[in-house]
């Protein structure tokens, strides 16, 4: 069943969100608009990073969405005409591969045509800096400002346009970060079986290419409709992976199995353990903290967003690691990575990055570290998670919902109440404190928390909760829904 889509009117203003500009193909994401945005983005990258890199090169890449390679060609041609040298990818690849290429090739940055985890009707444009990560909101604001200014005259001297394959250098970079022979041995002996749902996206073939061994991959074909859903690592889209892994578990009960889920451009990850249980990044990040600190002996700051599980700081505490909390959005984690030594940084929606890599979330690298953790511990991902729960004494459930509101006026009323009449009690629990770093995060008497955030562009309320049991989580979220719906 195809998910319903509300198509916006064409020519809505070009606005960059948490990671790029996105729009409905043919409505507000058009070839003409990409040809306008891409060279302006290149100009801003040159103004900011030209004296640092002494480069005139822009990387252009794309994922497997409908017309993505055609939009990439349009972007590349328009950037070339503006006087820049362009390296255009000859194939689809993960967004982190293009961030990697920007840094490795000393480019000004990269323009990536992708809409990440959004539904099939969308395409988007991400802007990456020379350092191998997303540019800051200040940079995208400069791009927006130039879109409204008189256009720059065309360059009298067009740049060069060459093509390149982003995979070899990227794969080689990731291979160097883990103990591949150890993983190979476990797979060759049939002690470990690796599954992956690439969700018809840019991770297709990637993990097998990095490992140098075949894996059991599902949804590998290019399907611009993503099976009628969205390429987002959520349980409701993973029925095929669940079936394959549960069948494997029944026939191979004494072996290890790991399933990975990669979003459309392979910068977000989720996993399925050997018993067919879904593991979000709320679970994976603590496992990764333990692996990198305990087995690899690495140090550094753990960076989490305000919506991250309390298990993250509790695991960090086991290994004496400092914790830094940011607003929601990987750009804040990436910025922190440019400032201090970071071990791992991650967000609840699946984006995880590492201080030993580029300041970019990278799902394939996360998969490699998780494989390494399973092989070195000889434990299933679910066992590693339950072990951390035992060590920290912290047991919790988590969920989030997006609640549509009747109008922006209702949004304004809710915001006014939160600002002027702070909540004293939620779901029968007293409010202990409120963290306003991004929305309103309420810590309650029994140590559960509720985060209330507003979309900046539409009448949607985002509700997040972690509590001792799933029953408590749903009770709290239902309370928040009832509270919001009274306006």
pLDDT in tens, 113-153: 999 999 999 999 999 999 999 999 899 999 999 998 887 77
Q: For residue 459, name the pLDDT band (cuts at 50, 70, 90).
A: confident
* Coil, helix or strand at residue 159: coil
Same fold, 21-166 and 177-392: yes
Residue 190 sits at the vertex; the CA angle it makes with 185 and 192, to the nearest 5 degrees, is 75
Lowest mean pLDDT among 5-9, 73-77, 205-209: 5-9
Task: Tell me which fold the domain 21-166 belongs to.
Answer: Alpha-D-Glucose-1,6-Bisphosphate; Chain A, domain 3 (3.40.120)
Judge whether residue 1 has pLDDT over 70. no
Q: Does residue 103 carry a pLDDT above 90?
A: yes
Per-residue pLDDT, 89: 98
Element (H, E) at 240: helix 239-251
By C-alpha distance, which of 433, 453, 457, 436 is closest to 445? 433
How much of the chain exceeds pLDDT 90, in percent? 91
pLDDT category of residue 443 using cuts at 50, 70 and 90: very high
Q: Which of 94-108, 148-162, 282-296 is least confident? A: 148-162
Asked if the model's pLDDT at residue 415 lies above 70, the reply is: yes
Angle value at C-alpha 159, between 158 and 162, nearest 5 degrees? 135
Mean pLDDT for all residues in the chain? 94
**Is the confidence at residue 9, as pLDDT, over 60?**
no
Note the pLDDT tens digit of each residue in 229-255: 999 999 999 999 999 999 999 999 999
Task: Assess whether pLDDT exceeds 50 at residue 28.
Answer: yes
**Residue spans per domain, the chain:** 21-166, 177-392, 397-485
Mean pLDDT to the nearest integer, 77-95: 98
The DSSP result for 293-345, as a single string, is IIIS----EEEEETTS-THHHHHHHHTT--EEEE-SSHHHHHHHHTTS-EEEE
The pLDDT of residue 19 is 82
> If we measure between CA atoms, which residue out of 426, 421, 463, 415 comes closest to residue 448?
426
Give the pLDDT confidence of 364-396 residue by residue, as tens digits.
Answer: 999 999 999 999 999 999 999 999 999 999 999
Predicted confidence band of residue 458 (pLDDT cuts 50, 70, 90):
confident
Mean pLDDT of 440-452: 97
pTM, entire model? 0.94
Cα dist from 446 to 41, 202, 381, 389, 483, whole Å: 48, 43, 28, 18, 20
* pLDDT at residue number 2: 41
CATH pick for 397-485 out of 3.30.310.50, 3.40.50.720, 2.40.30.170, 3.40.50.20: 3.30.310.50
Would you state the pLDDT for residue 183? 98
Asked which of 17-21, 56-60, 348-352 is least confident by mean pLDDT, the reply is 17-21
pLDDT score of 457 more than 70: no
Evaluate if residue 8 carries a pLDDT over 50: no
Q: What average pLDDT does the segment 53-72 reach?
A: 98
pLDDT of residue 148: 86
Q: pLDDT (tens digit, 9 = 90+) per residue, 175-231?
A: 999 999 999 999 999 999 999 999 999 999 999 999 999 999 999 999 999 999 999
DSSP string, 402-444: EEE-S-HHHHHHHHHHHHHS--SEETTEEEEEEE-SSSEEEEE
Question: For residue 167, which phi and psi values (nearest 5 degrees)?
Answer: -70, -50
- Give mean pLDDT, residues 440-455: 96
- Listed in sequence order, the residues at least 6 apart from 324 whose beta carbon sits closer than 8 Å to its beta carbon are 301, 302, 303, 304, 336, 340
**Superfamily grouping for domain 177-392:** Alpha-D-Glucose-1,6-Bisphosphate, subunit A, domain 3 (3.40.120.10)
């Amino acid at each position: 069943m195809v998910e319903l889509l509300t198509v916006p009117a064409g020519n809505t203003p070009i606005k960059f969100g948490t990671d790029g500009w996105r729009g409905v193909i043919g409505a507000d994401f058009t070839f003409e608009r990409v040809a306008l945005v891409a060279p302006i983005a290149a100009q801003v990258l040159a103004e900011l990073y030209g004296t640092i890199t002494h480069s005139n090169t822009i990387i252009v890449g794309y994922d497997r969405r409908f017309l993505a390679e055609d939009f990439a060609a349009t972007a590349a041609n328009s950037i070339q005409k503006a006087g820049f040298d362009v390296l255009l990818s000859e194939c689809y690849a993960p967004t982190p591969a293009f961030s990697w290429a920007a840094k490795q090739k000393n480019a000004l940055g990269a323009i990536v045509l992708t809409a990440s985890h959004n539904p099939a009707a969308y395409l988007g444009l991400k802007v990456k800096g020379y350092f191998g990560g997303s540019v800051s909101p200040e940079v995208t604001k400069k791009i927006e400002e130039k879109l409204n200014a008189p256009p720059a005259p065309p360059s009298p001297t067009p740049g060069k346009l060459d093509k390149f394959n982003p995979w070899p250098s990227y794969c080689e970079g990731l291979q160097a970060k883990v103990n591949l022979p150890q993983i190979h041995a476990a797979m060759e002996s049939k002690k470990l079986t690796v599954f992956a749902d690439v969700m018809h996206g840019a991770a297709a073939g990637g993990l097998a290419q990095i490992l140098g061994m075949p894996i059991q991959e599902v949804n590998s074909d290019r399907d611009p409709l993503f099976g009628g859903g969205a390429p987002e690592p959520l349980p409701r889209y993973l029925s095929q992976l669940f079936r394959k892994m549960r069948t494997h578990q029944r026939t191979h009960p004494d072996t290890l199995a790991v399933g990975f889920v990669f979003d459309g451009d392979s910068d977000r990850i989720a996993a399925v353990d050997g018993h067919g249980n879904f593991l979000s990044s709320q679970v994976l990040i603590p496992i990764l903290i333990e692996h990198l600190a305990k087995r690899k002996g690495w140090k550094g700051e753990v960076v989490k967003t305000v919506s991250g599980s309390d298990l993250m700081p509790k695991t960090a505490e086991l290994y004496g690691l400092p914790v830094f909390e940011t607003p929601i959005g990987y750009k804040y984690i990436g910025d922190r990575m440019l400032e201090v030594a970071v071990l791992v940084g991650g967000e609840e929606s699946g984006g995880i990055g590492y201080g030993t890599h580029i300041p970019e979330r990278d799902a394939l690298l996360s998969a490699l570290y998780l494989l390494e953790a399973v092989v070195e511990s000889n434990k299933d991902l679910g066992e590693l998670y339950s072990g951390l729960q035992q060590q920290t004494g912290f047991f919790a459930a988590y969920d989030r919902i997006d609640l549509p509101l009747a109008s922006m006026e209702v949004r304004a009323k809710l915001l006014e109440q939160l600002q002027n009449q702070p909540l004293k009690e939620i779901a029968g629990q007293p409010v202990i404190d409120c963290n306003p770093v991004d929305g309103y995060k309420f810590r309650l008497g029994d140590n559960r928390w509720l985060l209330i955030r507003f979309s900046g562009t539409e009448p949607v309320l985002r509700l997040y909760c972690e509590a001792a049991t799933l029953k408590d989580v749903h009770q709290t979220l239902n309370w928040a829904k009832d509270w919001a719906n009274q306006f």
